[in-house]
Amino acid sequence: QSVLTQPPSASGTPGQRVTISCSGTRSNIGSNTVNWYQQLPGTAPRLLMYGNSQRPSGVPDRFSGSKSGTSASLAISGLRSEDEADYYCVSWDDSLNGYVFGVGTRVTVV
């Protein structure tokens, strides 16, 4: 059972906006930053967002992140077919003294 709660799936049509939530507690998201990773089928994860809302170079500005209290979210605007992937949130947990992931959200472009 994952410590951070994410919806197992999300979907949208091309061009739509999709938002993925990541819910935690005071000991993880409430006290530390959140990073997001994209994993395309059969490949290693790729850093998509760090420090809650910072995009690494090369990540399109269609992707945005935010955090409020003990929850974070990732938004994909202008959804494209190549965005079909699994998306994971992760944060450090002060109580567990380790990193905790969300279960992952599979985004489908219908």
State the residues that interact with other proteins by CB under 8 A: 2, 35, 37, 39, 44-47, 50-51, 56, 86, 88, 90, 96-104
Distance in angstroms (rounded) separating the CA atoms of residues 65 and 53: 4
**CB nearer to other proteins: pick between 8 and 68:** 8
**CB nearer to other proteins: pick between 12 and 45:** 45
Taking the complex as a whole, the smallest distance from the CB of residue 103 to other proteins amounts, in Å, to: 5
**CB nearer to other proteins: pick between 46 and 62:** 46
Strands 105-109 and 9-12: parallel
Q: How far is CA 107 from CA 62, 74, 88, 94, in A?
A: 15, 12, 11, 30
